[in-house]
Amino acid sequence: MKLVINNGYLVDPANRISSKLNIAVEDGKVVQISKDKLSGDKEIDASGLIVSPGFVDIHMHEDRLLEDGFDICIFSAMAKMGVTTCIGGNCGLGPKDIKSYVDAVKKYKLPVNFGMLIPNIALRKHIGLIDKYASPSLEEIQAMEEYAEELLDYGLMGISFGMRYMPGITEDELVGVSKACLKDDKIVAAHIREDGDKVIESIREFFQIGEVLDLKLQLSHIGSMAAYGQMEEALALVDSENANGLRVTMDSYPYNIGASEIGSSTFDKGFLERYKFDYSNLKVIQGKYKGQRLDKILFEKIRDEEPKTFVAFEAQNQEEVDRAITHPNVAVVSDGILNNHQGHPRAGSTFPRFLRMYVREKKLLPLEEAINKMTNLPAEFMNIDKGHLSLGSDGDIVIFDLETIRENGSFEEPLLPPDGIKYVIVNGEIVVEDNELKNVKNGEFIENMD
């Protein structure tokens, strides 16, 4: 079937296109781009709308694998907010049996294209290292490196570390395991060890991987790590190191409210002093205590009895988040994670929120630069052939109304679909039309380009 999109305003930063043009997709590929009206088996009239490459979210947290497929939740939320390609396995977290997960993606298919980093929790589990505060021996590090090499050959895109979530990670582990990425120059991403006052030293710790091994590094959600008064220094540090030969990229989500499991090491002893707030700054966003502000007693009760409960906390400075997300070396990501269909609204609202806030209302970015941050830039970071609409490219397209686009998700209802996303097309097929999921199995498992 030939699908044509006529009368839209086509923005494709990778090819420096920003004009009223028509585009056709056939057999999953872009086959025509023309100022003349096109004909096909199905026509979308995109008058007054923006036609863009599908958004590429390189930092999200995947849905659970069940016995007979996936608990499709965040993947459908991704599609409804314009994401056509996403990357899981971030922050060192993810499925512990990576091969089974990849096999299931290929077998059952998803609404969106999906690729994965190797979460270091899977490598630790492989060698039986369950205690997140424990540090591996040199022999265990070697075993993790060998298993990482095997998984990279299986199609994984790189390795992610969650130093915050696994405090036992050492420099030997960071460098030793990352050696697996040397063969094909794959990326190493990290949720670094500390934010706030200790973020600079934590960034330097992560940079040791690049200094020793000359690998590409992805500094995860800088907007939530250094927006406590350290953003200018953090960005200057990254810029300086890049100017002197390091290869570092960054990402950020457009919220100044974070979220994490209450049982994670984020909330280990000392967190109140680190964030300079009290228990009442924490709000439960799932489960039977949903909506409640915490005090010391309730915090300890939930942390002890239901440690996987998500809590939200507002601590980041919004102006510093703005500074991060508008930096030219920062891609827009959701960091979306859901538990039983509950969690932070960024899981289903990030990209519409970004366009509303930074393009239409605050006017901090032109449309073309904003779209670049959601398409070509993150695809380049991950070395995947996505995020552009070149002739012959995959037919991944989002059509939206810039005048009405906005997020609707909240902490009470995180999965409310956005306004303004009219069509989402994955591999040439309409997956979302006016917030309705049409096709839940058109995505492909993706790997790095050769």
Residue 145: its pLDDT value, please? 98
Q: Are residues 100 and 188 in the same domain?
A: yes
Q: Are residues 175 and 153 in the same domain?
A: yes
Q: Is residue 336 part of a domain?
A: yes
- 281 and 313 in contact (C-beta within 8 Å)? yes
Q: Is residue 22 part of a domain?
A: no
Residue 149: CB atoms within 10 A of its CB come to: 18
Q: Are residues 195 and 286 in the same domain?
A: no
* pLDDT tens for each residue of the chain, 450 residues long: 999 999 999 999 999 999 999 999 999 999 999 999 999 999 999 999 999 999 999 999 999 998 888 888 999 999 999 999 999 999 999 998 999 999 999 999 999 999 999 999 999 999 999 999 999 999 999 999 999 999 999 999 999 999 999 999 999 999 999 999 999 999 999 999 999 999 999 999 999 999 999 999 999 999 999 999 999 999 999 999 999 999 999 999 999 999 999 999 999 999 998 888 899 999 999 988 999 999 999 999 999 999 999 999 888 999 999 999 999 999 999 999 998 899 999 999 999 999 999 999 999 999 999 999 999 999 999 999 999 999 999 999 999 999 999 999 999 999 999 999 999 999 999 999 999 999 889 999 999 987
Q: Are residues 103 and 245 in the same domain?
A: yes
Q: Is residue 437 part of a domain?
A: no
Q: Is pTM beyond 0.85 here? A: yes
Q: Is residue 365 part of a domain?
A: yes
- 223 and 278 in contact (C-beta within 8 Å)? no
Last residue of a domain, one of 329, 361, 384: 384
Q: Are residues 189 and 333 in the same domain?
A: yes
Q: Are residues 283 and 203 in the same domain?
A: no
Q: What range does the domain containing 305 cover?
A: 257-315
Last residue of a domain, one of 384, 401, 436: 384
Q: Is residue 155 part of a domain?
A: yes
Q: Are residues 358 and 214 in the same domain?
A: yes
Q: Are residues 345 and 262 in the same domain?
A: no
Q: Are residues 161 and 267 in the same domain?
A: no
Last residue of a domain, one of 364, 384, 404: 384
Residue 37: CB atoms within 10 A of its CB come to: 10
Over residues 101-126, the pLDDT tens digits come to: 999 999 999 999 999 999 999 999 99
Q: Is residue 146 part of a domain?
A: yes
Helix spans in 109-255 (H): 120-126, 138-153, 171-178, 199-213, 222-225, 231-243
Q: Are residues 241 and 103 in the same domain?
A: yes
Residue 359 DSSP symbol: I
Domain count across the chain = 2
Residue 406: its pLDDT value, please? 98
Q: Is residue 15 part of a domain?
A: no
* CATH number for the domain that contains residue 167: 3.20.20.140
Q: How far, in Å, CA of 211 to CA of 208, rounded?
A: 5
Residue 339: its pLDDT value, please? 87
Q: Are residues 127 and 219 in the same domain?
A: yes
Q: Is residue 85 part of a domain?
A: yes
* Paired sense of beta strands 17-20 and 9-12, if any: antiparallel
Q: Are residues 235 and 309 in the same domain?
A: no
- 155 and 118 in contact (C-beta within 8 Å)? no
3-state class (DSSP) for residue 178: helix
